[in-house]
């Protein structure tokens, strides 16, 4: 065993229970940080990096912690081929450079913000139609608005439904996390790939003739092979909806549970952008990201063997008391710079400015301005789920 992961020299968290983590991962993350910066976790056969310092360091050393994994292939299978997120530089950099121009702050402000504003208005109308007895903020607002924003960002035709986009995204996310090889999950991924590929069969020739500034259009513009274009469209579908959706509900949930902080934000004392960053730190939508050790290495006093599967616990780093004072406390005034909710290093989230604009400039301010009494409906059940990808799957609200 030592030759596989070198775990004889490192702490072993034989108590880590992925089932319990689905309900609330934070108590186990705290125990892991106390155990050490690095720990082997038999339940998922992975070495976890648990603290902010070691995770940031690993992201600076892709020559050891590779994304071009040959054994972590669930993402490649879920999406039908290998996207930029499962490549190292220089292959990754070429694909990433294609989409950066349309996702930088200037493009987000000029091109996408007006669309986000329209989408938010439209889905607040829908929420108001559902009414304060029945409304579920996840189902009736966060999911469709995140879905419509992504339809626009990808340059997909406007007759693509928000439900279809949500279904594709959910099936890909389930596939990426399908470590237990559930055949039904693979079936749903393949169905989604077929539907998206049929759509791209029509769309790609149109965008070649008439570029439209979208992510898909930019991937084509730089002359990438069509397989890479498709892989990265599937990747963007998987990551571009689920996390923004969760950030919207997490923010409303966090502010409702801290009414004094909600007042500070609504009165303008604290910027929406700061509330967004603190929520991303405190309830991170992506809890863990995978890497593979590709050469034997000494790392912070531990031996890691080539071939070891590693999990970088972003959500745990974001509760590290060495970096964040009183880390379990939600505090919109702390200006939570340095959190790792969007990753770090070369794969740091390409869509972070778009997500922040959509949520902190539009979704949340407009929600509270059009529905000033918006609050949780505690007579109905709130459901949280997941620890690798974590969010609220049902958030009953009233006003
Ligand atoms: C609040 C919302 C979001 C969160 C928390 C989030 C989080 C992340 C994280 C942690 C990574 C790094 C994964 C890794 O290194 O293994 C990532 C990468 C990525 N994200 Fe996001 N994301 C969000 C929104 C978006 C949106 C809206 C888009 C697209 C419009 C997007 C597109 C991407 C892409 C393409 C990558 C891969 C970048 C690369 O490999 O260089 N994300 N995201």
Q: Which domain holds residue 219?
A: 2-398
Tell how far the Cα of 15 is from the centroid of ligand 1, in angstroms.
Answer: 30
CATH of the domain at 311: 1.10.630.10
Report how far apart, in Å, the C-alpha atoms of 215 and of each of 99, 105, 221, 256, 354 are: 6, 14, 10, 35, 12
Q: Which residue owns the Cα nearest ligand 1 atom 17?
A: 349
Tell how far the Cα of 44 is from the centroid of ligand 1, in angstroms.
Answer: 23
DSSP readout, 181-222? Answer: --HHHHHHHHHHHHHHHHHHHHHHHHHHHS--SSHHHHHHHT
Q: Ligand 1, closest atom to CA 150?
A: 30
Tell how far the Cα of 351 is from the centroid of ligand 1, in angstroms.
Answer: 6
**pTM, to two decimals:** 0.96
Q: Identify the pLDDT of residue 3.
A: 41
Contact between 210 and 217 under an 8 Å Cβ cutoff? The reply is no
Tell how far the Cα of 95 is from the centroid of ligand 1, in angstroms.
Answer: 14
Tell how far the Cα of 85 is from the centroid of ligand 1, in angstroms.
Answer: 9
Q: Ligand 1, closest atom to CA 146?
A: 27
Q: Which residue owns the Cα nearest ligand 1 atom 32?
A: 351
Tell how far the Cα of 84 is from the centroid of ligand 1, in angstroms.
Answer: 11
Q: What is the pLDDT along the chain (399 residues), one digit of tens a residue?
A: 344 454 457 999 999 999 999 999 999 999 999 999 999 999 999 999 999 999 999 999 999 999 998 877 899 999 999 999 999 999 999 999 999 999 999 999 999 999 999 999 999 999 999 999 999 999 999 999 999 999 999 999 999 999 999 999 999 999 998 878 899 999 999 999 999 999 999 999 999 999 999 999 999 999 999 999 999 999 999 999 999 999 999 999 999 999 999 999 999 999 999 999 999 999 999 999 999 999 999 999 999 999 999 999 999 999 999 999 999 999 999 976 899 999 999 999 999 999 999 999 999 999 999 999 999 999 999 999 999 999 999 999 999
Task: Return the CA Rg of the chain.
Answer: 21
Judging by DSSP bridges, how do beta strands 46-49 and 38-41 pair with one another? Answer: antiparallel
Q: Identify the pLDDT of residue 2.
A: 41
- Ligand 1 neighbour 36 (Cβ under 6 A): no
Q: Which residue owns the Cα nearest ligand 1 atom 38?
A: 347
- Ligand 1 neighbour 62 (Cβ under 6 A): no
Mutate to test the pocket of ligand 1, among 351, 358, 390 (most ligand atoms within 8 A of CB): 351
Contact between 120 and 145 under an 8 Å Cβ cutoff? The reply is yes
Q: Identify the pLDDT of residue 335.
A: 76
Domains contained in the chain, number: 1
Q: Identify the pLDDT of residue 4.
A: 47
Rounded to whole angstroms, the maximal C-alpha distance in the chain is 61
- Ligand 1 neighbour 342 (Cβ under 6 A): yes
Between CA 218 and CA 100 the distance in angstroms is 9
* Secondary structure letter of residue 396 according to DSSP: B
Q: Identify the pLDDT of residue 336.
A: 65
Between CA 259 and CA 265 the distance in angstroms is 10
Between CA 127 and CA 371 the distance in angstroms is 10
**Burial class for 225, CB neighbours closer than 10 Å (0-12, 13-18, 19+):** exposed
């Amino acid at each position: 065993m030592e030759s596989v992961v070198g775990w004889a020299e490192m702490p072993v968290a034989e108590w880590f229970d992925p089932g319990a983590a689905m309900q609330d991962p934070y108590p186990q993350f705290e125990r892991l940080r106390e155990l050490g910066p690095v720990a082997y976790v038999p339940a998922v056969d992975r070495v976890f990096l648990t603290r902010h310092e070691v995770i940031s360091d690993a992201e600076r050393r892709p020559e050891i912690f590779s994304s071009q994994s040959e054994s972590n292939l669930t993402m490649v299978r879920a999406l039908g081929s290998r996207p930029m997120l499962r490549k190292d530089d220089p292959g990754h950099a070429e694909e990433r450079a294609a989409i950066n121009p349309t996702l930088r702050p200037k493009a987000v402000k000029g091109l996408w913000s007006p669309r986000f504003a329209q989408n938010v208005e439209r889905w607040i109308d829908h929420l108001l139609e559902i009414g304060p007895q029945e409304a579920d903020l996840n189902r009736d607002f966060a999911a469709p608005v995140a879905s419509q924003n992504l339809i626009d960002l990808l340059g997909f035709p406007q007759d693509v439904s928000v439900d279809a986009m949500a279904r594709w995204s959910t099936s890909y996310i389930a596939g990426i996390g399908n470590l237990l090889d559930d055949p039904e999950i693979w079936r749903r991924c393949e169905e989604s790939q077929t539907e998206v590929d049929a759509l791209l069969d029509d769309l790609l020739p149109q965008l070649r003739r008439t570029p439209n500034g979208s992510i898909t259009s930019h991937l084509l513009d730089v002359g990438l092979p069509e397989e890479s274009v498709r892989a990265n469209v599937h990747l963007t579908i998987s990551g571009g909806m689920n996390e923004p959706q969760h950030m919207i509900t997490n923010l409303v949930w966090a502010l409702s549970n801290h009414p004094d902080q909600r007042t500070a934000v609504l009165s303008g004392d604290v910027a929406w952008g700061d509330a967004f960053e603190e929520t991303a730190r405190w309830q991170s939508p992506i809890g863990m990201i995978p890497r593979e050790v590709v050469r034997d290495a000494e790392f912070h006093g531990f031996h890691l063997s080539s071939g070891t599967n590693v999990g970088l616990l972003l959500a745990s780093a974001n509760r590290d008391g060495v970096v964040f004072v009183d880390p379990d406390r939600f505090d919109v005034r702390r200006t939570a710079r340095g959190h790792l909710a969007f990753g770090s290093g070369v794969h740091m989230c390409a869509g972070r400015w778009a997500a922040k604009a959509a949520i902190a400039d539009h979704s949340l301010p407009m929600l509270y301005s059009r529905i000033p009494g918006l609050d949780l409906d505690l007579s109905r059940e709130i459901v949280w789920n997941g620890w690798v990808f974590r969010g609220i799957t049902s958030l009953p609200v009233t006003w």
